[in-house]
């Protein structure tokens, strides 16, 4: 039996209605545009490196009232972050530190999400030129003793920060805390050779200056 002329007209019409319905019905699969998945195809989460230990390097360890605080840098973005016992802006927390006189063995373990990431000083940081420029020894004193003698220099009396000092430090922005630690690190040799009174005055002066700049930037 041959199809009638009316049937021939109805077939394309029904097909058009079906296509239009499929496009309008949100419960049916929708067409995906290539631009919507461009980010996934260029940086697939299944192929990119998830090992943050390769991109993060340790840049400093400090102690506030005996509690460790570390600074780390992302080698790819050059961004620096301060990490302590409390979560920072990225949600990272410091899980463990092992500061020793053997700098190549000094490391810190960060809790990033559910992953524990180990960070260390880079080989470039451990060269004699870099150490001389920095004027300090990474992974040095642990800040738990008010006075101690080391094989590499004279006796050092490190004043213990008060609770007020610790709270003022933690109330600073992450950028300000990093700046404070960097200044302390850059003046490490000066700090070691200064008297306890001079050292305390220097620390207070730098803290007050960084704190004032931080408050000004927040306005």
**What is the reported pLDDT for 110?**
93
b vs e for 170-206, b when ≥16 Cβ sit within 10 Å of the residue's Cβ? Answer: eebebbbbbbbbbebbebbeebbebeeeebeebbeee
The domain spans of the chain are 52-218
**What is the reported pLDDT for 155?**
39
pLDDT above 70 covers what percent of the chain?
58
pLDDT at position 218 over 50: yes
Summarize the confidence of residues 73-94 as an average pLDDT. Answer: 86
**What is the reported pLDDT for 138?**
42
Give the integer Cα–Cα distance in Å for 157 and 192: 9
Average pLDDT, the chain: 70
**What is the reported pLDDT for 156?**
44
Q: Provide CB contacts within 8 A for 193, sequence distance 6+.
A: 154
pTM over 0.85: no
Q: Which of 30-39, 80-89, 180-189 has the highest mean pLDDT?
A: 80-89
* 52 compared with 108, residue with greater pLDDT: 108
**What is the reported pLDDT for 129?**
67
**What is the reported pLDDT for 55?**
85
* 83 compared with 202, residue with greater pLDDT: 83
pLDDT at position 63 over 80: no
Summarize the confidence of residues 29-42 as an average pLDDT. Answer: 65
Which of 33-37, 70-74, 200-204 shows the lowest mean pLDDT across its residues? 33-37
Q: Provide CB contacts within 8 A for 199, sequence distance 6+.
A: 157, 158, 159, 191
**What is the reported pLDDT for 65?**
65
**What is the reported pLDDT for 121?**
85
Phi-psi region of 114 (alpha: psi -120 to 50; beta: other; left: phi over 0): alpha
**What is the reported pLDDT for 105?**
81
pLDDT above 90 covers what percent of the chain?
3
DSSP-assigned states of every residue in 142-168 = -S--SEEEETTEEEEE-PPPPHHHHHH
Q: What is the pLDDT of residues 169-185, one digit of tens each?
A: 888 888 888 888 888 88
Summarize the confidence of residues 19-43 as an average pLDDT. Answer: 60
Confidence of residue 142 (pLDDT cuts 50, 70, 90): very low
């Amino acid at each position: 039996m041959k199809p009638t002329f009316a049937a021939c007209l109805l077939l394309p019409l029904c097909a058009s209605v079906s296509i239009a319905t499929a496009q309008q019905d949100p419960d049916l699969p929708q067409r995906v545009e290539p631009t919507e998945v461009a980010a996934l195809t260029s940086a697939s989460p299944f192929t990119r490196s998830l090992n943050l230990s390769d991109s993060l390097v340790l840049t400093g360890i400090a102690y506030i009232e005996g509690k460790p605080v570390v600074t780390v840098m992302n080698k790819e973005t050059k961004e620096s972050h301060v990490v302590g016992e409390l979560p920072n802006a990225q949600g990272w927390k410091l899980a463990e530190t092992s500061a020793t006189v053997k700098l190549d063995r000094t490391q810190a373990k960060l809790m990033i999400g559910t992953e524990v990431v180990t960070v260390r000083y880079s080989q470039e940081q451990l060269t004699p030129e870099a150490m001389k420029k920095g004027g300090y020894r990474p992974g040095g004193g642990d800040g738990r003793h008010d006075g101690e003698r080391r094989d590499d220099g004279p006796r050092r009396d490190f004043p213990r920060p008060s609770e007020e000092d610790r709270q003022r430090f933690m109330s600073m922005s992450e950028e300000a805390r990093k700046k404070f630690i960097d200044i302390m690190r850059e003046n490490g040799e000066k700090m070691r050779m200064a008297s306890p009174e001079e050292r305390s005055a220097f620390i207070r002066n730098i803290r007050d200056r960084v704190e004032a700049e931080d408050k000004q930037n927040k306005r």
